[in-house]
Structures are given as structure tokens and as C-alpha cells.
């Protein structure tokens, strides 16, 4: 069960494995520079079509919500479209759409990002609009109230009416006892209802400055073109003193936890487990690459251990999956999810998964399994370079995690270098039951669990 659903998808299809010559050419083509006010800029040339993706990232997200005001970063993201000194409500989006572009934004725990995809000739417009929003917000009181109702309705539709989403946030709340990943990105309903326009303005004035942001422009541009435009539109914005991030860390996890949710909308029982573990920059960072491979080996498709054991051999499950969202500033999650076959109890599923994990910890993986997993993990990312936004997102998360841009092109070689011994060590450290939350999703009127099959 993943912490950020859009990030989980990204991490499941991250990074390109291509010829070394192409990787070297891409590394050489990417340009980076910093304006005098601290705004960092990354330029990713892609001359296939005369279009650009303009993506501004802020080093602020839901994990920075003040205590008692969960959902503020997300509310602020919505309010960025509600008016500034020069732009009335809706004028930002209208200006982009009239030029044939599209725009949107997303909030995660570690960052918030806003993007515009548009023809190359309108890149100055994109920068002008985004610089205006960075400068400051000036929403009408009625618009602020209306937008709060929008995010509250979003929570009702996406969380309250979704059993999986409800379970996911309860798992996070149990998995993280002290870290701000504990609360949902969208916020708890009762705290969202108390958010105000002044909260948004204070948040913006504290964090939305050029030296707390970076710009990524991907597409039919050169570094020189982007530098000139960035200096013109962003260069005059003043830097500010940005409060340091002060996130609480996790205490030792000494007991396994269980969460069970019954819901009227559930038709099929499901079983989940999430472990809090290291990421690329948190905890035992050396385990991150092996954990990406472990995820592929355990539940990454029909050749994975769990699929073969539970679906093909024992026939006690209809689907299995494993995931690892390792590109996080705080603790990451390693997760399993299983849908049982008809008539098979969740207790049987849990025992079968535990047996499979124990076998991996004892015997590891064969050379053939490791070769296949490495090939698949690199091949899954083959098409990332074709899109404008996908490249900008990948580079954005690398930048948020403090990783260099060439991490992208070094990814295939780094994956290839991971050994079976490193995967075994990472598995032993990550798959500790006291670090985990085991969860079940059940129909509201489910009868007592029925066991069937044998692991």
C-alpha cells in the first residue's frame, strides 16, 4: 500500500535503461544553473516536438503542515489558482488554455509542484504567470471559502467513498507514529474544515520564494533560451529566510500493528502489509536499490515469487503485488497486497506470504531470477524520455531528494551492480514484522473468515 499514489506509479516505472552512448548524450545535454535569488533551474532538451513542459517545484509539502492544520499545503495548492494582484480567479487557467496548453499541480508529503505544458512560443507566458503567483496571492474571501468546500468535497469523493483510500490513510496513521507522514496529504476532515484564507497567505509568505524552489523546463529549448527568460521573469523576485524543516522522526517500532476495515462498498476481501523502511536518502540508504529489486522479485509481475507461489502453484490468490516507494525524504514503505481466490480465507493468504518471505530470507534468489528482475526493472522505464512531463517529474523527485541529475543516467549501471547478498541484507533489515502494519479490507456484512487452500 503506497504512501503517494501518483509517486508510487512513478517509482514503479522510473528511470530509463538505454544505450550508454544515449545516456552520456542526455547527461551532457542537461543544463543546470542558479539565479542570483537562489532559484535553481534545470533544462532538459527534447527537440522532437515544438513544445515545452514548465514545472516549478517547491520544497514544501503536506509533511510541513502545521500541527492541527493537516491539508494546508494541499489547500494552498488549490488557492494558487484563485487570484493574485494581477490575476483574478480563473485567469491563470484561462490564459494557458487559450494558447492550447494544459496546466495542473500536485501536492505530496515532500514537495508541491505546478506545471504548464504548452507550445514553445508560449514559454514566456508560462514563466510570467508562474512568477506572478510566486510573488503573492490575493484571493477574494468568497473564493477562499468556495475552494475550501472544493477540497472538502474532494475528500468526500476520493477518501470517504473509497474503502481502499480509507484503509490506506489508517495504515499510514498506524505505520508512522511520530513522523508527519502520519497524517493524510489531503488532511483530516475536521482539520480541513478549520482552515482559513489567512492560513494560506501565511503559508505562502513563509515558503513560496525562489530560494525554496527550483524550475525544470523540458522540451524544445536550449539552456541559453531558458536562462534569458528565467532571468527576465523570475530574476527580480527577492529571496527570503526559509524556516528549516523540523520533522519529528520515528521512535523504534517494537510491535507489529493490525488494521481492519469493513465497508459497504467492498465486494472482494483483500490483504495488505506495509513495512516502514529506508529510502534513497533516509535510514540505511544503501538498501534502497536492493529494495527496488526485491519489490520486482517478490511481486513484480507473473514471474515473481509471490505470483508463482500463490496464484500459479497454490491457486489461493487471483492477484498479488509488491511495491516500494523509495524516493522519499523520510521513511519509505515496502508493501504487499493480495486478493484471495474465492473461498480462501485471509489467514491462509497471510500464512502463505509469511512462508514465501521466510524462504527468501533463508535461501535468497537464483541467478536467473535476479537477471530477469534487473532486466525488467530497467526495461520498464524505456519510454520515460518520450514525454515532456515524465522527464520533468523524474528529475524533480531526484532534486527533492538531493540527488544529482546524472542519477537518472547511472540508474541502469547501479541496478546491474546490485548483488544477491545486498538484496538479502536489505530484505532482512526491511521485512521485520515489528516494523509493519498488516491490514485487511472486508465487506461490511462479511461472515467469519473462511479458510481454504494450503500454502
Active site residue 380: no
The answer to whether residues 224 and 27 touch, using CB atoms and an 8 Å cutoff, is no
| Spatial CA neighbour of 306 closest among 262, 263, 353, 264 | 353
What's phi and psi for 398, nearest 5 deg?
-60, -45
C-alpha cell at 405: 541529475
Alpha carbon distance 292, 451 (integer Å): 32
Catalytic residue among 31, 77, 122, 132: 77
d(Cα 113, Cα 124) in Å, to the nearest integer?
Answer: 19
3-state helix, strand, coil in the chain (%, to 5): 45, 15, 35
What is the SS3 assignment for 318?
strand
Query: Which candidate, 266, 265, 274, 74, places its Cα nearest to that of 173?
Result: 274
Give how far Cα 86 sits from Cα of 78, 139, 199, 202, 398, Å.
18, 11, 21, 19, 33
Query: Would you give the distance in Å from CA 307 to the centre of its chain?
Result: 25
Active-site amino acid positions:
77
Amino acid at each position: 500500500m503506497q504512501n503517494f499514489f501518483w509517486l508510487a506509479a512513478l517509482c514503479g516505472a522510473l528511470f530509463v535503461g538505454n544505450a550508454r552512448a544515449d545516456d552520456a548524450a542526455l547527461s551532457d545535454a542537461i543544463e543546470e544553473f542558479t539565479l542570483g535569488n537562489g532559484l535553481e533551474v534545470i533544462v532538459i532538451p527534447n527537440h522532437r516536438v515544438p513544445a515545452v513542459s514548465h514545472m516549478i517545484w517547491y520544497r514544501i509539502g503536506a509533511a510541513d503542515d502545521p500541527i492541527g492544520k493537516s491539508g494546508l499545503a494541499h489547500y494552498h495548492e488549490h488557492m494558487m489558482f484563485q487570484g493574485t494582484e494581477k490575476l483574478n480567479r480563473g485567469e491563470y487557467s484561462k490564459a494557458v488554455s487559450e494558447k492550447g496548453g494544459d496546466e495542473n499541480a500536485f501536492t505530496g508529503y515532500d514537495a508541491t509542484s505546478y506545471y504548464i505544458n504548452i507550445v514553445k512560443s508560449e514559454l514566456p507566458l508560462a514563466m510570467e504567470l508562474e512568477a506572478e503567483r510566486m510573488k503573492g496571492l490575493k484571493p477574494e474571501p468568497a473564493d477562499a471559502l468556495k475552494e475550501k468546500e472544493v477540497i472538502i468535497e474532494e475528500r468526500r469523493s476520493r477518501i470517504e467513498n473509497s474503502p481502499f483510500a480509507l484503509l490506506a490513510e489508517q495504515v499510514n496513521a498506524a505505520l508512522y507514529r511520530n513522523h508527519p507522514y502520519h497524517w493524510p496529504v489531503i488532511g483530516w476532515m475536521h482539520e480541513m474544515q478549520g482552515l482559513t484564507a489567512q492560513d494560506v497567505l501565511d503559508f505562502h509568505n513563509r515558503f513560496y520564494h525562489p530560494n525554496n524552489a527550483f524550475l525544470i523546463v523540458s522540451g524544445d529549448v536550449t539552456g541559453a533560451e531558458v536562462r534569458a527568460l528565467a532571468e527576465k521573469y523570475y530574476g527580480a523576485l527577492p529571496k527570503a529566510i526559509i524556516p528549516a524543516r523540523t520533522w519529528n522522526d520515528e521512535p523504534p517500532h517494537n510491535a507489529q500493528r493490525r488494521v481492519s476495515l469493513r465497508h459497504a462498498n467492498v465486494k472482494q476481501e483483500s490483504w495488505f502489509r506495509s513495512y516502514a523502511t529506508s529510502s534513497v536518502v533516509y535510514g540505511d540508504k544503501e538498501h534502497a536499490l536492493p529494495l527496488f529489486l526485491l519489490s520486482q522479485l517478490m511481486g513484480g509481475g507473473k514471474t515473481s515469487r509471490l505470483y508463482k507461489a500463490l496464484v500459479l502453484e497454490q491457486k489461493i490468490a487471483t492477484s498479488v503485488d509488491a511495491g516500494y516507494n523509495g524516493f522519499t525524504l523520510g521513511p519509505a514503505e515496502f508493501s504487499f497486497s493480495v486478493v484471495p481466490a474465492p473461498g480462501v480465507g485471509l489467514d491462509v493468504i497471510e500464512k502463505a506470504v509469511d512462508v514465501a518471505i521466510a524462504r527468501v530470507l533463508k535461501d535468497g534468489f537464483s541467478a536467473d531470477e535476479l537477471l530477469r528482475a534487473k532486466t525488467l526493472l530497467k526495461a520498464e522505464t524505456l519510454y520515460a524520455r518520450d514525454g515532456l512531463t515524465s522527464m520533468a517529474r523524474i528529475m524533480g523527485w531526484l532534486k527533492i531528494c538531493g540527488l544529482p541529475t546524472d542519477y537518472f543516467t547511472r540508474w541502469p549501471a547501479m541496478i546491474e551492480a546490485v548483488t544477491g547478498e545486498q538484496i538479502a541484507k536489505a530484505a532482512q533489515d526491511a521485512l521485520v514484522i515489528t516494523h509493519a502494519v498488516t491490514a485487511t479490507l472486508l465487506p461490511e456484512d462479511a461472515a467469519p473468515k473462511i479458510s481454504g487452500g494450503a500454502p
